Chain A
Amino acid sequence: MSTTYLVKGVSVAGAEPTDLLIRDGVVVETGTGLSARDAQGVDGAGLVALPGLVDLHTHLREPGREDAETVESGSRAAARGGFTAVCAMANTSPVADTAGVVEQVWRLGREAGLVDVQPIGAVTVGLAGQHLAELGAMATSAAKVRIFSDDGHCVSDPRLMRRALEYVKAFDGVIAQHAEEPRLTEGAQMHEGEVSARLGLTGWPAVAEEAIIARDALLAGHVGARLHVCHVSTAGSVDVIRQAKAAGVRVTAEVTPHHLLLTDERASSYDPVFKVNPPLRTQADVAALRKGLAEGVIDVVATDHAPHAVEDKECEWAYARPGMLGLETALSVVLDVLGPDWPLIAERMSRTPARIAGLADHGHLPAAGAPATFTLVDPAARWEVDPTASASRSRNTPYAGMTLPGRIVATFLRGEPTVLDGKAVK
């Protein structure tokens, strides 16, 4: 028998404070002045309840790079960040391009039991961009894969991309594209612009992203398929997506917290903790991404949490691997950027990503009868990011030393706390 919990006086997404009675995995009752003798109390005064956050873009590194992250350590970092579900990217070793690997990741997630780990399947065998992986087998596996992505690599061959978009229609799948024209980014190290000119680092031009998004939107429109665009990073991409949506293309898009907050000026230190792909862009891009997110041109915030071992970051910029941690700081960054617009945050960080990933048990505000899968935020708290305090196995956070608003106090997954008093329960 599971424990009954009574959360007292919490504001659900900014509404008037209420109590939440949680039993057997669901919210059984809401209202003020609730009591239950057998219930464990949780003081919700001053806290905001959000539906458990859903991350469409997480690198858990297992199998293959367990020194950088495991399904368990990444799940713990996710829970501490208020997440109840994460979509695990396919660029593991071996690549998640078969039913066997996606089922392994899915099972490791269940065993960790801290968040729902939903594997993403590779689009092409070995992420090599040559042959379609067995997408149907992954879809019908225990992992029930719906999102397919070669993230880290672009499905750059237009014919292969067209086939992938078409093929996954059979099981309502979606292709999540890492939009990067590879010929335009050979050797690229950072955003191409003023800062790259000064630093003598090879540029990653915005057009390399925008050209692929435009092409893919046209392809998706042509074959009537769903397209999801990973980590949109430029103002031009926002315009292209806006036009595609206006034309009726079934396209969704995500932006990362770091692209909403940081700019390419950070590269001036040559500290590879700021090296990421797509790269940090300019202030004008940041402004356009924020506007696009608020307006809904960009549907989702996704972390692109990318743990890397110390030796892959404590080196020369050009030799470092791209990517940064994001799970434990995502909500704070979004709160900093969007302000306390709780319904909007719930939409962009939980409801819409849950819908895109096909996770029916996620994305619901805690209301009577809904799954008790939510997180409690202290909006008044401010905290300094300390890399050594991370639940991740890696330390490559770009926010070290920064003070951010909002702290996760508790996270519940189907009625069971995964985080209480800011600490993971297991």
Chain B
Amino acid sequence: MIKHLLSAADLDSQQAILVLDTAAELANISGREVKKLPTLRGRTVVNLFYEDSTRTRISFEAAAKRLSADVINFSAKGSSVSKGESLKDTALTLQAMGADAVVIRHPASGAPHRLASWVGGSVVNAGDGTHEHPTQALLDAYTMRSRLGRIAGLHVAIVGDVLHSRVARSNVLLLTTLGAKVTVVGPPTLIPVDVAPALSPDLQVSYDLDAVLPEVDVVMMLRVQRERMNDSFFPSTREYARRYGLDAQRMRRLPEHAIVMHPGPMVRGMEITPEVADSARSTIVEQVANGVSVRMAVLYLLLGGK
């Protein structure tokens, strides 16, 4: 297995499937009364969070604890980081404390890559800037597989602010590795220049959500921040919602079996209406539950747990 998980592209299809299979096995213990395995006893996992992200941090914390690892939460707020300590000095501190794995969330793209060059333990990217969020892609793939039975051959539409989305990048990379067909959909201003050759030569790009919906098995809605409006990425939230938001009427264009995903946090009324988010097609709550199993699998495999 690889040492670090910095990008979804670090995994070939065999390794990715191993993560999903391992997650499925580990999911069984979540149903038990005692939700704990002794596999990582005595190992230290540090959650190094430079951005607020309650859901991801809690998910990683639960995952590590269920594997009996010692968990240290290190948040940028109220630590020496806010006093101007550099990432490198923080890395050396963690190294000296003997961290076996560092889970890092950081506002700067590539910060986990830098960290990996300074620490001896494994580094897991829990979201870096507008770059990647590989465990999110793994839990999304896990959710698709458990709902639809497979990933290869699925057609997945990823809709919204692809330009600023780490979720989109990791999903395109992982899903194409696993043999799915991916179409990114959004206003041209929110689709990165040259995205198709950059992430995958087979990636499709569309600006027309209504045309894409009847052809897909999965539609993944991305969060769109209202502030993008101020930077002229689109004229107004109303126009955005009208063209790219998923409401009940538009949802009816989907094939019968298709599912609706969202990595959260949602902006209800912007990219998704409450009706859709709470519908039977929606996997949003499952995604959160699956996140713990998938992160357990990642920590287990990276740390060579036994």
Please tell me the number of chain A residues within 8 Å of chain B, measured between CB atoms: 24
B169 sits at the interface (CB 8 A)? yes
Residue picked from A189, A199, A318, most chain B C-beta under 10 Å: A199
**Smallest beta-carbon distance B83→chain A, Å:** 15
In the complex, what distance in Å separates the CA atom of A29 from the CA atom of B113? Answer: 59
Q: Which residues of A in the span 363-384 have a Cβ within 8 Å of any Cβ on B?
A: none
Residues 290-331 of A contacting B (Cβ, < 8 Å): 311, 314-319
Whether, in the assembled complex, B132 has its beta carbon less than 8 Å from a beta carbon of chain A, the answer is yes
Please tell me if the beta carbons of B169 and A198 are within 8 angstroms of each other in the complex.
Answer: yes
- Kindly provide the distance from the CB of B64 to the nearest chain A CB, expressed in whole angstroms: 25
Contact A315 B87 (CB under 8 A): yes
Which residue in chain A gives the minimum CB-CB distance to B199? A198
B193 touches A315 (CB 8 A): no
Interchain CB contact (< 8 A) of B113 among A198, A270, A318: A270
Specify which of A194, A200, A269, A314 is in contact with B194 (CB 8 Å cutoff).
A194
List of B residues within 8 angstroms of A192 by Cβ: 193
B194: A residues at CB distance < 8 A: 193-194, 197
Distance to closest chain B CB from A31 (angstroms): 57
Tell me whether B57 is interfacial, beta carbon within 8 Å.
no
Q: Which residue of B lies closest to A269 (CB)?
A: B113
A412 to B108, CA, bound (A): 47
| B156-171 vs A, Cβ < 8 Å mask (1 yes, 0 no) | 0000000000100100
Residues of B within 8 A of A319 (CB): 108
Assess the B131–A316 pair: CB atoms within 8 A.
no
Determine whether B130 belongs to the interface, using a CB cutoff of 8 Å to chain A.
Answer: yes
Please tell me which one of the listed residues A189, A203, A270, A316 contacts residue B193 in the complex, with CB atoms under 8 A apart.
Answer: A203
Would B198 and A197 count as touching, CB distance under 8 A? yes
A197 in contact with B109 given A270-B114, A311-B86, A315-B86 (CB within 8 Å): no
State the CA gap A318–B198 with chains docked (Å): 20
Please tell me which one of the listed residues A189, A197, A202, A315 contacts residue B195 in the complex, with CB atoms under 8 A apart. A197
- Centre residue among B108, B110, B194 by max chain A CB count within 10 A: B110
A196 in contact (CB, < 8 A) = yes
Q: How far is the CA of A205 from the CA of B192 in the complex (A)?
A: 12
Q: Which A residues lie within 8 Å of B193 (CB)?
A: 192-193, 196-197, 203, 205
Known: A199-B131, A200-B131, A200-B132. A316 touches B108 (CB 8 A): yes
Q: Contact: B199 with A316, CB < 8 Å? A: no
B197 an interface residue at 8 Å Cβ cutoff?
Answer: yes
Quote the shortest CB–CB distance from A204 to chain B (angstroms): 11
With beta carbons under 8 angstroms apart, the residue of B109, B195, B197 that contacts A270 is B109
Cα of A193 to Cα of B195 in the assembled complex, Å: 8
**Cα A203 to Cα B191 with chains together (Å):** 12
Q: Across the two chains, which residue of chain B brings its CB closest to A317?
A: B110
Contact A316 B114 (CB under 8 A): yes
Question: Is A195 close to B, CB under 8 A?
Answer: yes
Chain A residues 188 to 219 lying within 8 A of chain B, measured CB to CB, are 189, 192-203, 205
B residues lining the A interface (CB < 8 Å): 86-88, 106, 108-111, 113-114, 128-132, 166, 169, 192-195, 197-199
**Can you list 18 A-B pairs, Cβ within 8 angstroms, ordered by A?**
A196-B192, A196-B193, A197-B194, A197-B198, A199-B110, A199-B131, A200-B110, A200-B128, A201-B109, A202-B130, A270-B110, A270-B111, A314-B86, A314-B88, A315-B86, A315-B87, A316-B111, A317-B114
